[in-house]
Structure 1
Amino acid sequence: MPVFEAQSYMGSSFTLEIDNDFLEIYDHNLGRTVTNDAERVVERVAQYLKECNQDISQFKIVYQDSMGVWDAMTVRDGKFSGFIGLGALDEEHAKRLYDQKATAS
């Protein structure tokens, strides 16, 4: 169930869902892609979570890009810090891969 919808013609449009310790971001393919607008996406999600008395650093972030592939974003000090290439075809597989890569690091 979506908890946050971001609509923008200047930036990216996306839906955010929260599943336990994961944030799932779905790219709407309108405006900039979530991948190309990652800094602003993380900033908008962080602001939303702050309004809900939550901290983005408590979550792991997976996102579906404009091609339908699932990858991950990393956050440091509340700001976007990079990508983790997962290449998953669905969010459940992406979350498993995320946890495997985090354990291997």
Structure 2
Amino acid sequence: MQVYLLTAEGIAGSYEGAFRLTPRVLLRNLPRNIIMPMPEDPLELRLPNGRLLQAHVASFGVDTWRDAEGNLLIDMDPANPVLSLTITGVELSDILPGTEIWLREPKFQASDKPS
């Protein structure tokens, strides 16, 4: 059973063949018992023109950085966290606005079914 992550609107950044997608994913929109996707987990990209592409998670998590004093900072409401998805295995030209991103082989805690 695949899990829908987001519909791409654009690219927030890129590095070494990996692309950070927008919008970010609201944590509350993921199935409650899903295990967080990890690097190399397979993705399916469903392009608006009907094409299907395969890609992989490069990273998936909260954006953080350190200030001059070494404190970790975030740019979101901690009560409503959002996660950034960075993917690899496709070309920039493959990521069209309106492309749906699906986790192909999600892993769940305590059961095989999302709740």
Instruction: Check whether TM > 0.5.
Output: no
TM-score bin, normalised by smaller chain: 0.3 to 0.5
Larger relative contact order (C-alpha < 8 A, sep ≥ 6)? 2
| Larger helix proportion of the pair | 1
Q: What TM-score results when the alignment is normalised by the length of structure 2? A: 0.33
Q: What TM-score results when the alignment is normalised by the length of structure 1? A: 0.35
Structure whose CA Rg is larger: 2
